[in-house]
């Protein structure tokens, strides 16, 4: 067996290690969430999974059964700490342990200039994209500490967590806040061998991006804009010649950070951005 084959087998073994972890999900980006689950399931064991829609939950449950894994599913508003805690506690009780947290819930909306942003819009964005991330990690950390095995926490931020964009100040502020949460959790939990990192996607080909509101927002000059009209604009954000990445590109990054392949990586802001950081 050559060295490359040994390394590949070792990496596969690390990813198959028995682990369990929840993945709270929001109301948008369903394609990315499904790909997280599809990439995640062959590698790790069991998952309590708060979900976004009954259909998404049913699809996720079917995926789990196909991989001969167990799952605890529930519908919960991630802004509600008590409800979220109840789901996570129940999942850990039924599955026996918690090793990985993926805080992936989020929404995206266009706004106005920051000084003109509606207060209700601002508060909703902070509640969903920032406070719910803190609450998700807060519910899981006691179980990670009790397990005494370390763990991995992955937070979904955005390129808007690394850069500023006009007319999206409420979103930029929330996603920058996620980076602050990540760094603080990383410092506080590191002595317990718990790693905390952020993934920063650029445009992703999910309903969060590919919807009529986005098309019209970027191409108000057209009567019936569609994906083909949006693509050239999105491509201008990137160094690589693509308009957006695919959901599995984000899932691959999440899986890497959840696995032992990244066992000494913590406090990192990992862009999956087709070079957007360079522009």
Write the CATH number for 228.
3.40.50.720
Residue 155 lies in a domain: yes
Residue 22 lies in a domain: no
Residue 30 lies in a domain: no
Cβ atoms of residues 171 and 160 within 8 Å: yes
Look at the chain and report how many structural domains it folds into. Answer: 1
The residue from 40, 165, 167, 171 that is catalytic is 171
Per the structure, the complete domain to which residue 217 belongs is given by 54-278
Of 193, 248, 262, 194, nearest to 11 by C-alpha is 262
Residue 9 lies in a domain: no
Cβ atoms of residues 31 and 245 within 8 Å: no
**Residue 224 DSSP class:** S
Residue 268 lies in a domain: yes
Angle at 65 between CA 145 and CA 255, to 5 degrees: 45
Residue 47 lies in a domain: no
Of 51, 46, 135, nearest to 98 by C-alpha is 46
Residue 12 lies in a domain: no
Angle at 22 between CA 206 and CA 248, to 5 degrees: 30
**C-alpha distance from residue 106 to each of 102, 133, 157, 175, 205 (Å):** 12, 9, 9, 10, 15
CA dist 206 and 32 (Å) reads 7
What is the residue-level pLDDT of the chain in tens, covering all 279 positions? 444 433 333 343 334 344 566 555 443 344 444 455 444 444 444 555 554 678 878 888 898 889 888 888 888 899 999 999 999 999 999 999 999 999 998 888 888 999 999 999 999 999 999 999 999 999 999 999 999 999 999 999 999 999 999 999 999 999 999 999 999 999 999 999 999 999 999 999 988 899 998 899 899 999 999 999 999 999 999 999 999 999 999 999 999 999 999 999 999 999 999 999 999
Length of the chain: 279
3-state secondary structure (DSSP) of residue 103: strand
Residue 253 lies in a domain: yes
Q: Is 40 a catalytic residue?
A: no
């Amino acid at each position: 067996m050559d060295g490359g084959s040994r390394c590949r087998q070792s990496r596969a073994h690390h990813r198959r290690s028995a682990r369990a972890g929840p993945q709270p999900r929001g109301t948008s980006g369903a394609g990315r969430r499904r790909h997280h689950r599809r990439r995640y399931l062959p590698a790790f064991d069991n998952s309590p999974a708060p979900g976004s829609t009954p259909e998404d939950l049913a699809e996720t449950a079917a995926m789990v059964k196909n991989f001969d894994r167990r799952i605890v599913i529930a519908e919960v508003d991630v802004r509600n700490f008590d409800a979220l805690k109840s789901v996570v506690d129940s999942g850990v009780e039924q599955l026996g342990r918690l090793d990985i947290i993926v805080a992936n819930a989020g929404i995206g909306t266009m706004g106005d200039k920051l000084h003109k942003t509606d207060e209700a819009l601002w508060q909703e964005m902070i509640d969903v994209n920032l406070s719910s991330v803190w609450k998700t990690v807060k519910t899981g950390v006691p179980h990670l500490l009790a397990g005494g095995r370390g763990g991995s926490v992955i937070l979904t931020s955005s390129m808007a967590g690394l850069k500023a964009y006009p007319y999206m100040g409420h979103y930029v502020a929330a996603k920058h806040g996620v980076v602050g949460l990540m760094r603080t959790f990383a410092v506080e939990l590191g002595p317990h061998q718990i790693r905390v990192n952020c993934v920063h996607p650029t445009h992703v080909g999910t309903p969060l991006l590919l919807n009529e509101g986005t098309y019209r927002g970027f191409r108000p000059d057209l009567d019936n804009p569609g994906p083909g009209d949006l693509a050239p604009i999105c491509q201008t954000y990137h160094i690589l010649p693509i308009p957006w990445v695919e959901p599995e590109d984000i899932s691959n990054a999440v899986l890497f950070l959840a696995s032992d392949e990244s066992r000494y990586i913590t406090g990192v802001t990992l862009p999956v951005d087709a070079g957007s950081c360079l522009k």
